[in-house]
């Protein structure tokens, strides 16, 4: 004798599965008045245009922020290089020349964020035991951020000033004699 046939287990939602019940509202939402299905052709092009524009804007903002952050660091490095080079020179005239050259070299090594270099040694005492005060100013140029930079309120030219103080050794030997 055969066992009685078992009936397949019925789905709790009847003949329609849960997936069908979830998808029906989505399908019905796509129907416009009059029973026509909305056409989504061309939307990928619009999405690509919006994404590309946002990506370019993001790159411009990142470049502007990078230059704006790197500008003071470059000016600071140049100021310390100028003060250190001037403090090692045998006299004031040579110290000023060496300091300016060291500042220019420091900016040349770091890139092009900081331009229009100006180096001042006002307030320096080049005697043994004195100190060298180097003030460096330079300008960061952000004109290539264009209209987006203007809309974000980014200044086209920003000047940074940095100051460095380095002591001169009290006992140093210049040309074989104590200075």
pLDDT band at 100; cut points 50, 70, 90: very high
Integer angstrom CA distances of residue 148 from 123, 134, 141: 42, 36, 15
pLDDT digits (tens, 9 = 90+) for 76-95: 999 999 999 998 888 889 98
Predicted pLDDT at 26: 56
C-alpha of 161 from chain center = 19
pTM of the model: 0.64
**Span 5-12, average pLDDT:** 57
50-178 fold: 3.30.1300
Domain locations in the chain? 50-178
Are residues 96 and 86 in contact, defined by beta-carbon separation less than 8 angstroms?
yes
């Amino acid at each position: 004798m055969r066992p009685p046939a078992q009936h397949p287990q019925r789905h709790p939602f009847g003949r329609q599965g849960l997936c069908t019940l979830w998808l029906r509202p989505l399908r019905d939402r796509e129907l416009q008045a009059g029973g026509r299905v909305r056409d989504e052709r061309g939307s990928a092009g619009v999405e690509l245009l919006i994404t590309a524009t946002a990506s370019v804007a993001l790159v411009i903002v990142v470049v502007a922020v990078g230059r704006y952050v790197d500008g003071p660091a470059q000016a600071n490095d140049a100021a310390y290089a100028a003060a250190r080079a001037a403090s090692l020179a045998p006299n004031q005239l040579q110290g000023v020349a060496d300091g300016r050259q060291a500042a220019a070299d420091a900016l040349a090594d770091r890139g092009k964020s900081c331009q229009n270099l100006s180096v001042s040694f006002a307030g320096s005492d080049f005697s043994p035991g004195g100190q060298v005060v180097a003030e460096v100013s330079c300008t960061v140029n952000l004109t290539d951020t264009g209209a987006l930079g203007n809309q974000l309120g980014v200044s086209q030219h920003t000047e940074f000033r940095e100051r460095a103080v380095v002591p001169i050794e009290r006992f140093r030997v210049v040309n074989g004699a104590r200075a």
